[in-house]
Structures are given as C-alpha cells and as structure tokens.
Amino acid sequence: MPRALLGPGSHEMIGPEALKMGIKKPLVMTSGIRGTNIVHKLFESLKYHGLDPVLYDKVESNPKDYNVMDSVALYQSNKCDGFISIGGGSSHDACKGARISVAHDGRNVNEFEGFNKSDNSNTPPHIAVSTTAGTGSETSWAYVITDTTTDPSKPHKYVAFDDASVTTLAVDDPVLYYDCPSHFTAQCGFDVLAHASEPYVSRLDFQPSLGNALYSAELVGKNLRTATWHGDNLAAREGMMYAQYTAGQAFNSGGLGVIHSVSHAVSAFYDTHHGLNNAIALPRVWAWNLPVSYERYAKLAGALGVDTTHMTTVQAADAAVAAAIRLLRDVGIPEKFTDVEQNTHPKNRLGTGPTAFYENRKHIKGDAEDVDNVANHILGDTCTPGNPKETTFETVRPVVEHCFNGDLDDLLS
C-alpha cells in the first residue's frame, strides 16, 4: 500500500511531492480528460514548481498494450525520471505497466501478465492522481491491459498483479471529481461496489480485508446516488473517494471474482467501459453466488441500507440483490449488455476499437457466439479463482447469457 494524500486540496501538493522524490522530468500520463481543465492546471502547476514535465495524453479506456509501449518510448527518448498519472484506472494502469516495462529495459508489457512476473523491483517513482471514484488502482498492486497482439478472433484482456507496480504516492482529491459526468460517476461507483463486495465473499476469506470491504459498500450505498445526480456535493464526492480507496485496499488482499472476469471479457470483445460492465454483471453474479455465501450477502444488504431486522439470513441475502438492482436503476445504468450503445454511453467504443477485430462490433449481439466467447474468457481470468462459487463453463454460461439478454426482474422473483 503506497503513501497517500487524501481530501480536498491534496492535488496542490503534487509538485512539491514530486521534487521530494527526486523527480525533475516526469512523464505525465492521462487520457486527456476532455472537457475539463484538470490536466492543463496540474501540468502548469508542475512547471511552476520547477519541473519539466512531458505529456502523453493518448491513454484509451481499457488501456491497450500499445498505449503502454508508446509511453515507454516517450519516457526513454526524453530521458524522464518518474511518472505522474492523472485520471481513472485506465491512466493509472497504463502508467503502472509502463513503469514495469521501463524497469526491464523496455520489454513488452504483455510479458508481465500474471503474478509478480517482474524481476526488477526498482521501478521509477510514480504519483497517481485520481479524477474519478472507481478504480482503486492508485492503491492496489494490480493493473489491467488489453493485449492487441492476440488472434483477432480471441481478443484478450488480462490482469497483472505485481508488487513492483504499486504507486509511490496516491493522491485522492474529491475536488477533482466535480467535472466527472453523471453517467461516468455512476459506472465508476459500481466498480467500487464490485471491489468491495468481491473480497467480502471471496473464497480467500482474508479476514483483515473484510472490514474495509463492508465499510466501502456502506459508503457506496450512502453516497453514490448523490454523487451521481449532484456532482458538486462535496460530502458525497468525498464519501465516494474514501469508498474507492478503502475498496482498493480490500481487494488488494482479499481478491476479486467473476464480476470482474465478466467485465474483462466483455471489454476485450467490445471495448466497453469497465465500470459499466461491472454494474451489469454485479446483480447477476451476486444472485448466482448466494447459495454459497448467504451470511455475507445478508451483511451487504445491511451495508446498502436495507433494514434486515425481521428477515431470515436468506431473505436478507435476497434483499442485497434487490438493493443492488435498485441502486443500478436509480443512477441510470443500462440493465443488460444488449442495451449498451455508443451514442448514449460515450465511454464505450463500439465498432471503433484499436484493432481490426472491433470493426464488426458496432452493436453488442448477445448471441450464442458472444456468450460462449465471454464464458471461455472468464475461465482464464486471474480474478476467477477468488470467486466463492466454483466456476466452470457449464455453471457460468447461464450467468453470462443473462448479462447479455436477461431481465433483472427475473432475479427478484
């Protein structure tokens, strides 16, 4: 877990903190955060403090291997001495991958898929500045990359877990979240809820993670609606900031599960937004997992604000699924993957993704081929083994089918 600056105004310390780390020429990695002044403001602040920053602002949603390697080339050619990432999980993850590559003389980031594949822990210093409340990447040892070099018929998105990728300093300032659009705030918030709930029910059952996981879910239940529809509400933005950070610590040690595996698979095939994918998958996976973890889901119902006083454990667990569906609907998230269209959900790059594979993927079909592709991708995802319920093609395929085409009301009957 890195050192962190948390709370309003913390972003103003980025320049002095970089200098304390010995950074003089940082590579600033970001998606550009179009429509805001955040990158320009922070970039000029770095220069005011005497740094000579270099900008790479082409990180894509669901960061691609070439985003990482292009930034590595820029870092090396400019003789940079540290990294600053500004944005959400995409910027932070691409930056973490770039640090690993730089520490290994520019080797391709795809070589480090898996667990602690790096053999040089001396990575350049990295300050991660979050502008969304979702990823937790600023405080975790994981980063997620889309490998565009695979067989076009089998696109691959993977998680790398590496101690050497942990940031040097996390900066979470809720003031920077004000410009985050409502739909994006909602989707990122469900990423937080997935990060909270999966370690809480994980088969790892890592006790030190449970308190953080449950508290993070509680913060989401209390704050996501207000943060979504009243984006300048500081208390709600700060609540989601702490939810993100706390959930990141929870899954760092407690693991993840099939919610994330579904999300990685769908974005591998369609380049859809990770938080949106998590939101659609979450109530289905919760319902699927209930029989092996009723007690934990009953506690999640309470965290989401359900009065479970007069309920049995099973009733309370069912109520958790209902509460998640209610939250999804309240913040305006699509209810199944076939409802997702690029023109109404602009973080989803349907038909415009980075390789030829995506050209014929302008609409999510949800046919048997889609379902089989996603179910098979799930089986190879590094998050899947943490799921509390045993995952096979036969058991998970109906869950995937429902994510694409099912009615959420089916889960409430």
Given a cut of 90, whether residue 361 has pLDDT beyond it is no
Q: For residue 363, what pLDDT is reported?
A: 77
Superfamily of domain 182-412: Dehydroquinate synthase-like - alpha domain (1.20.1090.10)
This prediction has a pTM of: 0.95
Instruction: Please state the domain extents for the chain.
Output: 3-177, 182-412
Options 3.30.160.100, 3.30.300.20, 3.30.420.40, 3.40.50.1970; CATH for 3-177 is 3.40.50.1970
Strands 169-172 and 142-147: unpaired
* 10-65 tens-digit pLDDT: 999 999 999 999 999 999 999 977 668 999 999 999 999 999 999 999 998 899 99
Instruction: Decide if pLDDT at 74 tops 90.
Output: yes
Q: Does residue 358 contact residue 349 with C-beta atoms inside 8 Å?
A: yes
Q: Which residues pair with 144 in a beta bridge?
A: 159
Query: What is the Cα–Cα distance from 363 to 155, expressed in whole angstroms?
Result: 17
Predicted confidence (pLDDT) at residue 7 exceeds the cutoff of 60 = yes
Compute the residue count for the chain.
Answer: 413
CA distances for 335 relative to 207, 218, 306, 362, 410, angstroms: 33, 22, 21, 19, 12
Position 358 scores a pLDDT of 63
Structure tokens, 62: 């669901």
- Please check whether residue 217 is in contact with residue 193, taking contact to mean a CB–CB distance below 8 angstroms: yes
Each residue of 226-254: pLDDT tens digit? 999 999 999 999 999 999 999 999 999 99
φ, ψ at 341 (rounded to 5°): -130, 145
Same topology, domains 3-177 and 182-412? Answer is: no
Whether pLDDT at 351 is above 60: no
pLDDT digits (tens, 9 = 90+) for 249-281: 999 999 999 999 999 999 988 889 999 999 999
Q: Quick one: pLDDT band at residue 359, thresholds 50, 70, 90?
A: low
Alpha-carbon gap, residue 151 to 171, rounded angstroms: 38
Closest residue by Cα to residue 333 from 278, 264, 370, 388: 278
Tell me the pLDDT band of 345, cut-offs 50, 70 and 90: low
